[in-house]
A and B are shown apart, each in its own frame.
Chain A
Amino acid sequence: MSPSLMPHKKGRSAISSIVVAMLSLVLLVIIFSNVILWSYQMNQYDLQTAHEGVKITEITNANDGTEFAFENTGSVTVHIVALWIDNSTQHQRYPVNLFINSGENLSFFTLDINLPTEPYTIKITTERGNIAVYT
Chain B
Amino acid sequence: MGKAIRIFKDKRAITPVLSSLLLTVIAVAAMAIATSATYVITTNMRETMSERIAVEDVWFNNSTNSIDLYLYNVGKVAVSISAVYINHNQSYAGSFRLGIGDHNWLNISRSWAPQTEYYIDLVSTRGNHVPITYAT
* Residue positions of A touching B, CB distance < 8 A: 23-24, 27, 30-31, 34-35, 38-39, 42, 45, 82, 84, 86, 88-89, 91, 93, 123, 125, 127-131
Contacts and interface: CB of A to CB of B under 8 A. Distances in A.
Interface of B: 31, 34-35, 38, 41-42, 45-46, 49-50, 52-54, 56-57, 59, 62-63, 68, 70, 72, 74, 76, 103
Contact of B54 (A24, A34, A125): A125
Given A125-B72, A129-B52, A35 B57 contact: no
A38 to B, nearest CB: 5
Contact of B56 (A38, A39, A93): A93
Given A30-B42, A93-B57, A129 B49 contact: no
Contacts, number: 59
Nearest to A124: B56
Contacts of A24: 34
Contacts of A93: 56-57, 70
A62 B52 CA distance: 37
A127 B74 contact: yes
13 contacts: A24-B34, A27-B35, A27-B38, A34-B45, A38-B45, A38-B49, A82-B103, A84-B57, A91-B57, A91-B70, A93-B70, A125-B72, A129-B72
A19 to B, nearest CB: 9
Nearest to A127: B74
A30 B34 CA distance: 12
Contacts of A35: 42, 45-46
A11 B57 CA distance: 69
B56 A84 contact: yes
A38 B62 CA distance: 43
B87 to A, nearest CB: 22
Nearest to B43: A34
A129 B70 contact: no
Contacts of B45: 34-35, 38
B34 A27 contact: yes
A82 B74 contact: no
A123 B57 contact: yes
B125 to A, nearest CB: 18
Nearest to A24: B34
A31 B57 contact: no
